[in-house]
Amino acid sequence: MSEPTIESSDQPQPDRDLGMPEHRGARNKAITWLPAIIAVLFFLAFSAIVLSQPEKMIEPDPYAYRASIAALENGNINLSQEQYDALSLELQQTSLSGGIMQWHQNDDGSWVSEKNPGYPFLAVGFDEAGALRLAPLFYGALACLAMWFGARRWLGRWGGTFAVGAYCSTALAMVMAWRSTMPTFTDASLIAAGLGLLIWSVVALDRSRRIRTIVGALAFFSFGLAVSVRYTSAAVLGVAAVFALIVCLQSKWKLGWSTLLWWAIASLPPAITSLAYNAVYFDGPFSTGYNASTVKFSTSAISPNLRIMPSRLWQAMPVFVIGLAAIAVLIAVQIIHAVRVRSKNKSSQEITNPENQSAFSERSTVDQPIDPSPATIDRWIGSFLVVTWAATWVMYSAYEWTANLGGGFGGGRAGGVPSFGGAPGGAMGGMSQPVYSTVRFYLPALGAIALLVAWLFTRIPAVIGVLALIALFAFGGHEFINTVNSSWASMSIGGGGSMIGPGANGGPGSQGGSGGFPQFDPSKCPNLPQLPQGGPNQGGGAPGGQRPQAGNDLGTLPNGQQDRGGITFDENGCPVLPGSTSSGSSTSTTTSSVSPVSTGVSA
């Protein structure tokens, strides 16, 4: 007689004992639903803290995405000059103010966003309903639901709870979900949803192949959507494709070539749509609105990023440390399991007579179950998650923009961002360390990290795992509140290319005028972050696609270096930063400290 499983012991039992309390069945049912209830509470708390803070426009990127969403509401993807001017004026009159930035002007004079096209299409419906802030949370909910099912099927009844709790516990996820005109959290959520669905389809060996094929197809469609939102998510799609190829070729997973074919087909619609979009609005299917010199990956950036990013990731996403611990424990468990299996096989061979060895081997082969063991499943799924995590982080460890913005090159390089002087204040020390401007590129790995954390926490008492996640959530919530009220969140770049800081004349999108922060054209300043341009500015617009407005002194350059507002400007009208040279000469100039706002270039 087989022993009862852990899962069956949690189900309500028939009341065969007349002395059993009547409430026993209700209590068992409550215990059964407890993991799901806790998972829901984690997400509700995450959503509540995100929505508790008023949204702000930080960096140029939100202005670009907001304009795309607004244009789509009017049935437009690209805009004529007149439509562009009208939309810019309309957006400047909204509560968040600001115009349009980081749009590309084509040779025919029309304007189109240089950003990846996916997110505006995913968010426009929410904006039409007056609920744009719910867009990232909606896709976050899909991610949590998919991870809950996938992790529960893989790890048991508490696996889904731990995966959802880990996903919702970080300040970085909260900050990016708070920024509804940024695609980062939606991109990460689409990847997390794909991971959860793919894990379910692989490990649900007791379900029909048809159901598993459909669920896996949804996973690859989600990965494809993630690529349309951020093209670098193609690295994750590639890892998932290789993993799918391997498992479909292994008979023990009961999938097959037909499943692999349907999964491949499911990933194509978003990819084909993105290629067609680029072919129509840019130079070709593999062209984008970004200048080739803007988004660069090189091995020279790895060392600077390794110096600056770990501490920032610890501040914004400390759960990654538990993820690393999970990898170490997983490797140790697999080694111990391999040693035990080898020892067991050796003992079996020793007790078997040589003349019966052949018959014993045949009998063992016949009797061996087809389904993979739990240790085998852990090894395959764990390896897939580790490689998925590494695909994102290794790629962005070579990203020059984050190394430049963080001062990793120790003083900056031409076209990059010099090291900013230290300045106390806020959750990040003012603008001296723009933590969330750089670590946001690492957020797409959060789904893989959360699933690895769930694997680790299922090996300890459930109450300890839940308390650990509550502590992580409290830390993340505190950091989130501090961050969105810090100097970084108070600094904005207006839609006219002006850099607006605390005490400046006007809020985000101010077009300049007397008083406030002096204005300049960043495209003429190689010692500053360069706003990415998709191509030549045919219409004479200001950098980032915003045309100069009345009162804007963009294009009016001072003769020689001048001091305005305590900041020294060179002959090109560029602020000369401490320890850097002017944009037009090699003469070093010492000035008072200035903290330029990060430009938010996205790869």
Q: How many CB atoms lie within 10 A of CB 20?
A: 12
d(CA 533, CA 545): 8
The tens digit of pLDDT for each residue in 83-96 reads: 999 999 999 888 88
d(CA 437, CA 106): 29
Residue 598: the pLDDT is: 39
Its pTM stands at: 0.76
> 506 by DSSP, 3-state: which?
coil
Helix (H) or strand (E) holding 381: helix 374-397
- Determine the angle formed by the axes of helices 234-249 and 209-229, rounding to 10 degrees: 160
Q: Residues 218, 261: contact at Cβ < 8 Å? A: no
Q: Choose among 98, 203, 91, 227: nearest CA to 153.
A: 203
The tens digit of pLDDT for each residue in 94-141 reads: 888 888 988 988 888 899 999 999 999 999 999 999 999 999 999 999
- What is the chain's alpha carbon radius of gyration, rounded to the nearest angstrom? 27
252 Cβ contact partners less than 8 Å away, ≥ 6 residues apart: 370, 371, 372, 376
DSSP letters, 134-147, are: HHHHHHHHHHHHHH
Helix (H) or strand (E) holding 462: helix 462-484
DSSP letters, 498-555, are: -EE-TT-SSSTT----SSSS----GGG-TTSPPPP-SS--TT-PPGGGPPP-TT--TT
d(CA 564, CA 554): 15
Domain boundaries in the chain?
134-329+373-490
d(CA 145, CA 200): 12
Residue 235: the pLDDT is: 96
Q: Which stretches in the chain have pLDDT values below 70?
A: 1-30, 292-293, 347-370, 406-433, 491-603
DSSP code at position 112? E
- If you search the block for the tokens 């063992």, which residue do you land on? 364
> 178 by DSSP, 3-state: which?
helix
The tens digit of pLDDT for each residue in 458-506 reads: 999 999 999 999 999 999 999 999 999 988 777 655 443 333 333 333 3
